[in-house]
């Protein structure tokens, strides 16, 4: 089974700080990488799906990069706001991934203090 | 309509009961998923339906029985569950069952087995 690692497990930052966290995965048989945000008592929400080495995607203050050769993706949040507090999950399709059977990392729980 | 709905929100059942969880989407998606999420762990895939056919069963015990009556609906029939089956059950859908499609999640059903 595919091993998806996320670090750190949790992060506490002040409002206005910029932050980043990491998703690591085996670099062989890469197909796609998903980032989701999961706020407490809400549904997980897709942020990005990335497929190409060197991909960079941006949505507002959140951006992500992908390095498939070395097996990692970074998620960046610029100027964190309290509403960014959530668990950020990284996921990849299993079995080298033409199917949507995602394997999730354990997530990074972000808390932003006002 | 970009929503995945799930009913009920909460369910408490005994080990001898039979109950069903329901999931619905009207986005025209052709792939639907059931995930199980235990506290402080990431979601784990249970089943994938693609074009109304079961395409992946991740070795889930037969006391969980999925059904896809049409492309908008997904059910999970529960029978003779164990207390360790208590968890949040998430439904998701995507445009097709390919690994590069973002998945849209419902809010989940919180199941407690007594």
Residue A100: which of B42, B94, B106 has the nearest Cβ?
B94
pLDDT (0 to 100) of residue A7: 97
Q: How far apart are CA A26 and CA B94, in angstroms?
A: 24
Quickly state the pLDDT bin for A95 (edges 50, 70, 90).
low
Residues A48-70, mean pLDDT to the nearest whole number: 96
Please state, rounded to an integer, the average pLDDT across all residues of chain A: 93
- What average pLDDT does the segment A8-20 reach? 97
* pLDDT of residue A96 exceeding 60: no
**Nearest-by-Cβ selection for B103 from A98, A100, A107:** A100
Reported confidence tier of residue A46, pLDDT bands at 50, 70, 90: very high
- d(CA A20, CA B58) in angstroms, rounded, equals 33
Give me the pLDDT at residue A94, please: 83
List the single residue in A with minimal CA-CA distance to B30.
Answer: A100
Q: Is the pLDDT of residue A8 over 80?
A: yes
Chain B residues touching A91 at Cβ < 8 A: 42
Does B42 touch chain A if contact means CB atoms closer than 8 Å?
yes
pLDDT in tens, chain B (114 residues): 669 999 999 999 999 999 999 999 999 999 999 999 999 899 999 999 999 999 888 889 999 999 999 999 999 999 999 999 999 999 999 998 888 899 999 999 999 999
Q: Does A100 touch chain B (CB under 8 A)?
A: yes
Residue A88: predicted pLDDT: 98
Rg (chain A; Cα; Å)? 14
Residue A70 has pLDDT above 80, yes or no: yes
Residues A32-57 have a mean pLDDT of 95
Interface test with B, best of A4, A34, A44, A104 (most B CBs within 10 A): A44
Nearest CB to B100: which of A32, A43, A106?
Answer: A32
Residue with tokens 């945000």: A37
Distance from CA of A104 to the nearest CA of B (A): 6
What is the percent of chain A where pLDDT is above 90? 84
If phi over 0 gives left and psi between -120 and 50 gives alpha, with beta otherwise, what is residue A41? Answer: left
**SS3 call for A86:** strand
């Amino acid at each position: 089974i595919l091993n998806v690692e996320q670090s750190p497990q949790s992060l506490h930052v002040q409002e206005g700080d910029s932050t980043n966290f990491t998703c690591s995965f085996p670099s062989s048989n890469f197909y796609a990488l998903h980032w989701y945000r999961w706020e407490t008592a809400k549904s997980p929400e897709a942020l990005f799906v990335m497929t190409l080495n060197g991909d960079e995607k941006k949505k507002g203050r959140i951006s992500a990069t992908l390095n498939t050769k070395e097996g990692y993706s970074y998620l960046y949040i610029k100027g964190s706001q309290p509403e960014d507090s959530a668990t950020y999950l990284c996921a990849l399709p299993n079995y080298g991934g033409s199917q949507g059977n995602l394997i999730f990392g354990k997530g990074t729980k972000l808390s932003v203090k006002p | 309509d970009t929503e995945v709905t799930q009913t009920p929100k909460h369910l408490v059942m005994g080990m001898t009961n039979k109950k069903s969880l329901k999931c619905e989407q009207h986005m025209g998606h052709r792939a639907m998923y059931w995930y199980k999420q235990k506290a402080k762990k990431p979601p784990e895939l249970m089943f994938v339906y693609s074009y109304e056919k079961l395409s992946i069963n991740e070795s889930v015990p037969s006391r969980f029985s999925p059904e896809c009556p049409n492309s908008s609906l997904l059910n999970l029939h529960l029978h003779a569950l164990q207390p360790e089956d208590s968890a949040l059950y998430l439904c998701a859908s995507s445009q097709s069952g390919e690994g590069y499609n973002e998945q849209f999640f419902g809010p989940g059903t919180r199941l407690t087995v007594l």
